[in-house]
Structure 1
């Protein structure tokens, strides 16, 4: 069995270049802006009884299209809880976490600012005190600020569980073994379902950047409860990240949101922390090439059985035709 191959210089040159930190932060800010401006804009301006697109679905689709658009640049987190959870799971380097979280907060605040300015243009809402209750209505809260007056315990439980489930779907949908191209829509639809399920309890945060964005422009009591919607989602994300790190498959090539996003977990014989998906693919190609050379050496030496029986030396499954060929080739060698 050949030793694990490493990417050659030619393979490294052929691999696409990794995006720098500035494009990644811009992508995270842009995606979070879409989430707040697009998703919460529907909740803010639409009549729930007549709106063609429910607010939870609008938020889920906003995340899905954001991941589809810029997920290949930054991984498409758009959520501090997702960034923390993927870091705990080993998919995001810890040094990237502060910048990602800051970019998400800026993007979310800008989205809420555009909505706030839009509301202020209405003649009967030009007064600041008239706009704050509107943003309080779409902010997250418990007790008196809960849509159905749920207590803090219920709110904490709902947010922790929902965020853990959300991150679990993200980690599973973006692994190497998942079907390609489905991650954005699986993540977006999951988020829509989770928001719909816990909206009566807390107005559904699952995202500290989203909660902060609306609380900035809401009444002071919303700001007073903001810590809940940082603590609960982050705790849920950490739980999911630890579970995935403990039980996840070690041979998964990690993409943190979309195909081409950075990968940071260990793959046997391949680059580990800090490696990109393209580098892993280049290493896999080099390993396949090394395997082909091994088969050629075995063939020239007449060791046909080793070619067939050696695990991992064939790219296609073994068939009856292969077994028959091996049998008759063996007979020919014995006749000699």
Structure 2
């Protein structure tokens, strides 16, 4: 339960701070600022709740960790539920602030669905590979949280105009369920990150991407 609460808090913080940047500060900070907001939120929670739950904050990360053999299926499902709850709670708080979380929804860019699908799979694979590598037993580093946050920043800088960048089903659910158009695309932002995260976990377990 302690780990699940940590995941609720961590995912809430990620979604609340990143969405707030999009909804309230986008004209001032631009896409670079939004990218940094996502990355810095992950850095903060990596050190804030990471010692408790590992700060997955993302069902794709939890799937990768499970397939890498680092957690049970039951733990993974508990993390998934906690992450979705945390993300949706953050959106509800934004609604209470009269901000529309649909304004932070992911959206397939002008390059089309195929490009969006490929980007989400590849970017999530890279993200989860970095997480598994930076936190593996015997090789974990005190700056793992920074490396992970910077990787997420890099992914946003590369792909905001391609997909709006999810690489995180909980993040996409938290925004897209409040927008009819975005909700119809939600399948992509759930399936693609899970494929990418799952592939990263399988390769890590096989030793191809682990020390």
TM-score, scaled relative to structure 2: 0.93
TM-score, scaled relative to structure 1: 0.60
Question: Does 1:46 find its partner at 2:12?
Answer: no
Question: Does 1:110 find its partner at 2:71?
Answer: no
Q: Tell me the equivalent position of 1:25.
A: 4
Query: Structure 2: any 5+ residue segments left out of the alignment?
Result: none
What pairs with 1:96-175 in structure 2 (closer than 5 Å)?
96-119=75-98, 131=100, 135-142=101-108, 146=109, 149-175=110-136
Deviations 1:9-57 (A, max 9, x none): xxxxxxxxxxxxx110000000000000011211110033456970111
Counterparts in 2 of 1:48 and 1:97: CA distance versus 1, 3 Å: same
Match of 2:189 among 204, 216, 229: 229
Counterparts in 2 of 1:29 and 1:54: CA distance versus 1, 3 Å: same
Query: Structure 1: any 5+ residue segments left out of the alignment?
Result: 1-21, 121-130, 253-336
Residue 179 of structure 1: how far off its partner (Å): 5.4
Cα pair 2:203 2:209 within 8 Å, conserved: no
Q: Tell me the equivalent position of 1:83.
A: 62
Q: Distance in 2 between matches of 1:78 and 1:180?
A: 19
Q: Tell me the equivalent position of 1:293.
A: none
What pairs with 1:1-336 in structure 2 (closer than 5 Å)?
22-50=1-29, 54-119=33-98, 131=100, 135-142=101-108, 146=109, 149-178=110-139, 180-218=141-179, 220-247=180-207
Q: Which has the larger helix fraction?
A: 2
Counterparts in 2 of 1:245 and 1:33: CA distance versus 1, 3 Å: same
Cα pair 1:205 1:211 within 8 Å, conserved: yes
Aligned length: 211
Deviations 1:65-123 (A, max 9, x none): 11101111111100000000110111121121111100000000011111122125xxx
Residue 159 of structure 1: how far off its partner (Å): 0.1
Q: Distance in 1 between matches of 2:31 and 2:192?
A: 31
Counterparts in 2 of 1:52 and 1:198: CA distance versus 1, 3 Å: closer
Residue 228 of structure 1: how far off its partner (Å): 0.6
Structure with greater contact order relative to length (CA < 8 Å, sep ≥ 6): 2
Q: Distance in 2 between matches of 1:204 and 1:41?
A: 16
Calculate the aligned-residue CA RMSD, in Å: 1.9
